[in-house]
Chains A and B, each alone.
Chain A
Amino acid sequence: MIAEDISLSPAPRYRPSLSLKTKLRAYFGSPINSIITVGCILVIAWALRHVISWLFVDAVFVGTPAICQQESGACWPFLVAKIRFMLFGFYPFEEQWRPLLALLLFFGTCGTAMVPVFWGRHLLFGGLAACVIIFWLMLGGFAGLAYVPTSKWGGLPLSFMLSAVGLVCAFPLGVLLALARASELPAIRVLAVVFIELVRGVPLISVLFMASVMLPLFLPSGFNIDNLLRAQVAIILFAAAYIAEVVRGGLQALPKGQAEAASAMGLHYWQTMRLIVLPQALKIVIPPLVSLFIGFFQDTTLVTIVGLLDFLDTVRAAMRDPQWQGIAVLEGYVFAAVVYLIFSATMGAYSRYLERRFRVGHD
């Protein structure tokens, strides 16, 4: 307890005040170092010159596709004209305030969930409530909102939904799989190992293919499931196997005495796991889990290949618009890259923050 309190307020870092000469020595200390510094400056200058001239100097800020075609720089009018399509896809134009609201609600919920102070039972219920509201906003059909079928969903909300729902559902499944793999019962262990290794040995795209092409064959005739749901099931199963491996690392890192002491106290298996083992094991693996989540957020782009309109696909569709075709190739991809970069980098920074926070007095 004491160690935790201390770790919450890190000691002020010792920062010796360096004279200019000492600072310069890091850059020009030796001949080789000077060459490296000059080389780096040249590279940065070259890159900056091109980026600035593309983004601003040669760019078109207002105008038509024809003007964009003449200039070599970025075509900002493309972004202005297509931003709503890129963000929301084919969602009915008049109703697009709904996905926007859902997106904002999603960000709000995630932002709250990222603050450790709010962690607890209330957050779980709040998250569930937010989930229900988001689905109501997106799908509609009752309480005054018009019904919008999932085939019309697209863009950024779809990307976030696929990854968020995927991870939320995959997490308990992954924990169960990890427990099964660490189980003392051989049959259960073998089943878990086979599932985990099978899924981890094949690429995500093959699982997506399987879901979109083979799942209808696996279900009884007349029972048809939505295209979006198929991809979602594939992502859940795929993510569960990877989460299971990460959680297994946490289970292995825990001293065996913990579980033994718990059973000596008379707790049965599920009590031991729920009260003693999992809280400690999951705490260890939070940073790698967040990196895994970043990876899965990026991997949801693969659903384009099975024909879902995620954010990357709506961007590509906007670029294929006959009016803009061949004009805004770089613009579209760079915009998509920046969006993904912002969200992934935020999660990465958060993961590093958690890593610092959970480093409790071991080193």
Chain B
Amino acid sequence: MRVALTPFRLNFRDNRTRGILYQCLCVAGVAAGGFYLFSNVSQNLARQSIATGFSYLWREAGFVISQSPIDYQPSDSYAKALLVGILNTIRVSILASVLATIVGTLVGIGRLSSNPLLARLMLLYVEALRNVPLLLLLFLCYAVIVTILPPVRDAFQLLPFVFLSNSGLAVPSLEWSSDHTIIAAALVAGLGLAFLHARHLRRRRIESGADQSARPLVGALAIVPPALVWLVLRPELNLSLPELGRFRLAGGAHLTPEFVALLVGLALSASANVAEIVRSGILSIRKGQREAAAALGLRPSHIMRLVVLPQALRVIIPPMTSAYLNVFKNSSLAIAIGYPDVVMVSNTTMNQTGQAIEPIALFMLVYLSLSIAISLFMNWYNARVALRER
């Protein structure tokens, strides 16, 4: 308090003065460095007569993108190509995260199995995947798909109507019409209503202690709207199934080998991390918690849902956030096997336009903003499940 009251004097024995001086020096140093680099860049660009600015974004891209979730032609602009890259990145990251979560959770639980054989096998899985570089894993997956798998005419049939061959994976697909969109909207609305109703029921139960006798209504709210819309519209179900022809697979959706290799590689490597996270989360719940819940007369499903899971999630979610962020950032390795993600599209743009700074800045911005978005969402979710301390 005394320090704050004394009038400010330039005294280098005073910590406060020195602090301000250090900060000024630091900021000035960073600013000077930045200015120096900036002046170098502008000189170099002028000397090599490289164009600057983002006007290239609206020019015709002129390159083919082998796989695109939206309609894209080489005659479209660079901006649209970039958008296709972003969508491709997001698509493969989300799918890989979902797969990794499912596989990783199973492996993590398997590692805690009382059966030593299963526990060791799962340990082997985790260790093998964690100790091999992801890039090598991607190359290996790609090589296996392209050179080891049989050609299309003797494709493996993994499941009914799912074919795996050296030209990728063929899966059934639905020809989407506006009717389907309406049904999906009805489903979302029904789920929303059911969620609201369930919350209302829970609140009433907590307030009055009355049992939830109206539980079937929750299910009905979720199912009835889409079912009604279905009955009214009666859409044609154009399910396109891949069928093995003589030389190629006809129908269905076709996933390229690059996509499959990237998806499998990312999911495998992330699943090992997820397994370790899930395992440590479950281990963090003391045995007494389960036993106390059982002593209170809770059913096993209730013990899991009300006692174990809420506590384990609290431990699991922060590292899971960084695991998902890693999947998202690691998807940039797509360029090594030729999947057209945002990095690869930017790289092609860079080579074609000769402008290096703008495409790199753009895709770094994409990664940064999406990373921040993912961490914000996960932090919000984490705050919801976190222990509410007084």
Contact = CB atoms under 8 A, between A and B. Distances in A.
A58 to B, nearest CB: 14
B22 A188 contact: yes
B372 A201 contact: yes
Interface stretch (B97-105, B116-124, B174-182, B296-304): B116-124
A333 B356 contact: no
B23 A186 contact: yes
Given A184-B19, A340-B132, A305 B336 contact: yes
A326 interface: yes
Nearest to B331: A203
Contacts of B367: 201-203, 206
Interface stretch (B39-47, B152-160, B164-172, B232-240): B39-47
Interface string B125-152: 0011011111110011001100110000
Nearest to B29: A191
B332 A341 contact: no
Contacts of B368: 198, 201-202
A40 B372 contact: no
Interface stretch (A4-12, A60-68, A105-113, A208-216): A208-216
A348 B360 contact: no
B333 interface: yes
Contact of B363 (A44, A188, A206, A294): A206
B196 interface: no
Contacts, number: 146
B252 to A, nearest CB: 28
Nearest to A332: B143
A65 B356 CA distance: 43
B364 interface: yes
Interface in A314-330: 316, 326, 329-330
Interface residues of A, number: 55
Contacts of B350: 213
B222 to A, nearest CB: 33
Q: For the complex, would chain A's binding face be called helix, strand, loop or mixed by DSSP majority?
A: helix
B133 A298 contact: yes
Nearest to B41: A217
Contact of A298 (B45, B116, B134, B360): B134
Contacts of B332: 203, 205-206
Contact of A36 (B30, B113, B140, B360): B113
Contact of A220 (B40, B128, B133, B371): B40
Contact of B136 (A36, A40, A205, A301): A301
A27 B133 contact: no
Nearest to B328: A203
A187 B128 contact: no
A27 B115 CA distance: 6
A187 B20 CA distance: 9
B95 interface: no
A33 B115 contact: yes
A341 B137 CA distance: 12
Contacts of A345: 127, 131
Given A36-B118, A219-B40, A221-B40, 14 more contacts: A26-B116, A36-B113, A185-B22, A187-B24, A202-B371, A205-B332, A210-B364, A213-B356, A214-B357, A217-B44, A301-B135, A302-B333, A326-B147, A345-B131
Interface of B: 19, 22-24, 26-27, 30, 37, 40-41, 43-45, 47, 113-118, 121, 127-128, 130-136, 139-140, 143-144, 147-148, 329-330, 332-333, 335-336, 343, 347, 350, 356-357, 360, 363-364, 367-368, 371-372
